[in-house]
Amino acid sequence: MTTSTGTDWAAWQNSWDRQQEWYMPDREDRFRIMLDMVEALVGMAPRVLDLACGTGSITARLLARFPEATSTGVDLDPALLAIARGTFEGDDRVSFVTADLKDPDWATGLPYESYDAVLTATALHWLHSEPLADLYGRIAELVRAGGVFMNADHMIDDSTPRINAAERAQRHARMDQAKRDGALDWAEWWQVAAKDPVLAEPTARRFEIYGEHADGDVPPAAWHVRTLKEKGFAEARPVWCSPSDSLVLALK
């Protein structure tokens, strides 16, 4: 959709997807399984919290599959939120909240006290383990009884160093080839955003907030499962994995 600013938000969404897929060629697989599990556990008209929503990638796929769903997107990144808000402008199923997930009161600005599903992907590895565990506790309070939380992210099992090294070498060889074929990496994508007349200012603010990249942790899936149970979920386990990433589901 092109708005009064002249910005083609669909083009920015597509550009973001291509950049993310350079890192994660199986990105759509995790979204598909995530929405399969939403349907299986909370139905086809869920109230969803899209946590660390970025451009609204999960929300877009959620509404395409479940037109009666509603979504609240939460993020701190002013540039990605600008794309998200532009994309879903006028859609009363969607709202966005600017909040820092490291702030213990981040949830006070949400429009609802509870959600059927809280979903996040490729975002929480920006946090270290202790604040992530605290965040899991707050998420457990937001998910209704019988509701679900899902996190798809980098989850590295340090007990298999040779497997990890081989997988990483193959993945990076493929990424290098894609780069030669014209794919943009993270830094290059942000360089383009910084030159856009609408996104330049929020992009500058974004780098004031985050710097170049946060230095978080990537604990294994077993840590996420154990921590989610400790923080109030009844069941938790991976429901999808790739050689480097996992989708962990927790049921309240």
Average pLDDT (225-229) is 98
Give the pLDDT band of residue 2 (cuts 50, 70, 90). very low
Tens of pLDDT, residues 78-121: 999 999 999 999 999 999 999 999 999 999 999 999 999 999 99
What is the value of pTM for the model shown? 0.95
- Work out the average pLDDT over 238-250: 96
CB 223 within 8 A of CB 129: yes
- Say whether pLDDT at 4 is over 60: no
Q: Tokens at residue 111, please?
A: 């429009």
CA dist., res. 35 & res. 112, Å (int): 21
What is the pLDDT averaged over residues 166-186? Answer: 92
**Is it the case that residue 172 has pLDDT exceeding 60?**
yes
Give me the percent of the chain exceeding a pLDDT of 90. Answer: 89
Of 140, 119, 11, 12, the closest CA to residue 66 belongs to: 119
Strands of the chain, DSSP E: 47-51, 70-75, 94-98, 115-121, 143-154, 235-241, 245-251
